[in-house]
Chain A
Amino acid sequence: MTNGWTDVSNADVILVMGGNPAENHPVGFRFVMEARRKRKAKLVVVDPRFNRTAAVADSYTPMRAGTDIAFLGGLIHYAIENKLYHDEYVKLHTNAPFLVKEGFDFAEGYFSGWDGAAKKYDRASWQYETDAQGFAKVDPALEHPRSVFQLMKKHYARYTPDAVANICGCTAEEFRKAAAVICSTGRADRAGTILYALGWTQHSHAVQLIHTAAMLQLMLGNIGMPGGGINAQRGHANIQGSTDMGSWNNLPGYLKIPRANMATLDDYLKANTPKPLRPNSLNYWGNTPKFMVSLLKAYYGKHAAKENGFAYGNIPKPGETENYGWGQFFDKMHKGGIEGFISFGMNPVANGPNTPKMLDALSKLKWMIVVENFETETAAFWNAKKLGGKFYPTFVDPAQIQTEAFLLPAACFAEKDGAFVNSSRWLQWKRAALPPPGDAKPDQEIMSRLFLAVRDLYAKEGGKAPAPLLEMNWDYTNPRNPSLEEVAREVNGREIAGGRQLNGFGELKDDGSTLCGNWIYSGSWTEAGNMMARRGQDDPTGLGIYPNWSWSWPANRRILYNRAAANAQGQGWDPLRTPLRWDGERWRGDVPDYKADAKPADYGAFIMLPEGVAKLFAADLVEGPFPEHYEPVESPVPNPLHTNVSSNPMATVFHGPLDKLGDAKSYPYVAITYRLTEHFHYWTKHVASGSELQSNFFVELPEELASAKGIEGGDIVRVTSARGSVEGPALVTKRIRPLKVAGQTVYQIGIPIHWGFIGRVRGPLVNNLTPSAYDPNSGTPEYKGFLVNLEKA
Chain B
Amino acid sequence: MQTVAKLIDTSLCIGCKACEVACQQWNDQEYTLGTFQNTYQTMPDLAPNFWNLIKFRETEIGGAQSWLMTKYQCMHCADAGCIKACPSPGAIVQLGNGIVDFNRDNCIGCGYCITGCPFDVPRLSPKTKKVYKCSLCSDRVAVGLEPACIKTCPTNCLTFGSRTDLQFLAAKRAEELRADGFAGAGVYDGPGVGGTNVLYVLKHAGRPEEYGLPKDPTIPWTVSLWKGPLKWLGNTVFIGGILTALFHFVKFGPKEEHHRG
Cβ contacts under 8 Å, A714 to chain B? 36-38
Q: Report Cα–Cα, A732/B60, bound state, in Å.
A: 16
Cβ contacts under 8 Å, B38 to chain A? 713-714, 729-732
Q: Report Cα–Cα, A729/B35, bound state, in Å.
A: 11
Cβ contacts under 8 Å, A761 to chain B? 33
Q: Contact at A735–B36, with CB atoms within 8 Å?
A: no
Q: Is B133 an interface residue (CB 8 A)?
A: no
With A55-B66, A56-B11 as known contacts, state yes or no: A30 contacts B154, CB within 8 Å: yes
Cβ contacts under 8 Å, B11 to chain A? 56
With A26-B155, A694-B42 as known contacts, state yes or no: A50 contacts B65, CB within 8 Å: yes
Q: Report Cα–Cα, A617/B13, bound state, in Å.
A: 41
Q: Contact at A689–B180, with CB atoms within 8 Å?
A: no
With A22-B14, A734-B65 as known contacts, state yes or no: A33 contacts B155, CB within 8 Å: yes
Cβ contacts under 8 Å, B2 to chain A? none
Q: Is B24 an interface residue (CB 8 A)?
A: yes
Cβ contacts under 8 Å, A691 to chain B? 31, 33
Q: Contact at B67–A55, with CB atoms within 8 Å?
A: yes
Q: Is A693 an interface residue (CB 8 A)?
A: yes
With A56-B12, A694-B34 as known contacts, state yes or no: A689 contacts B67, CB within 8 Å: no
Q: Contact at B155–A29, with CB atoms within 8 Å?
A: yes
Measured CB to CB, the closest approach of chain B to A696, in angstroms, equals 4
**Residues 240-251 of chain B, each 1 if its beta carbon lies under 8 Å from chain A, else 0:** 000000000000
Q: Is A27 an interface residue (CB 8 A)?
A: yes
Q: Is A40 an interface residue (CB 8 A)?
A: yes
Q: Report Cα–Cα, A733/B57, bound state, in Å.
A: 11
Q: Report Cα–Cα, A694/B11, bound state, in Å.
A: 23
Cβ contacts under 8 Å, A26 to chain B? 14, 16, 18, 154-155
Q: Contact at B24–A689, with CB atoms within 8 Å?
A: yes
**Residues 695-731 of chain A, each 1 if its beta carbon lies under 8 Å from chain B, else 0:** 1101000000000000001100000000000000111
Q: Contact at B42–A693, with CB atoms within 8 Å?
A: yes
Q: Of B12, B40, B154, which one neighbours A27 at CB under 8 angstroms?
A: B154
With A29-B154, A33-B12, A677-B17 as known contacts, state yes or no: A689 contacts B36, CB within 8 Å: no
Q: Contact at A40–B16, with CB atoms within 8 Å?
A: no
Q: How many residues of B contact A (CB 8 A)?
A: 37
Q: Report Cα–Cα, A56/B68, bound state, in Å.
A: 9
Q: Is B43 an interface residue (CB 8 A)?
A: yes
Cβ contacts under 8 Å, B69 to chain A? 52, 55
Cβ contacts under 8 Å, B3 to chain A? none
Q: Is A60 an interface residue (CB 8 A)?
A: yes
Q: Is B20 an interface residue (CB 8 A)?
A: yes
Q: Contact at B24–A55, with CB atoms within 8 Å?
A: no
Q: Is A583 an interface residue (CB 8 A)?
A: no
Q: Is A688 an interface residue (CB 8 A)?
A: yes
Q: Is A495 an interface residue (CB 8 A)?
A: no
Q: Is B128 an interface residue (CB 8 A)?
A: no
Measured CB to CB, the closest approach of chain B to A16, in angstroms, equals 12
Q: Report Cα–Cα, A52/B67, bound state, in Å.
A: 8
Q: Report Cα–Cα, A301/B39, bound state, in Å.
A: 59
Binding site for B on A (CB under 8 A): 22-23, 26-27, 29-30, 33-34, 37, 40, 50, 52-56, 60, 676-678, 688-689, 691-696, 698, 713-714, 729-735, 761
The contact sample of 25 A-B pairs, CB cut-off 8 A, is A22-B15, A23-B14, A33-B12, A40-B180, A52-B67, A52-B69, A53-B14, A54-B67, A55-B15, A56-B13, A60-B65, A688-B31, A689-B25, A692-B34, A692-B43, A693-B34, A694-B40, A695-B33, A695-B35, A713-B38, A714-B36, A714-B38, A730-B38, A731-B39, A735-B67
The 6 A-B residue pairs with the shortest CB-CB distance, nearest first, are A713-B38, A22-B14, A55-B67, A26-B16, A688-B31, A696-B36
Q: Contacts A693-B17, A696-B35 known; list 12 others, CB within 8 Å.
A: A26-B154, A30-B155, A33-B155, A34-B156, A50-B65, A55-B69, A56-B14, A693-B20, A695-B42, A696-B34, A729-B36, A729-B38
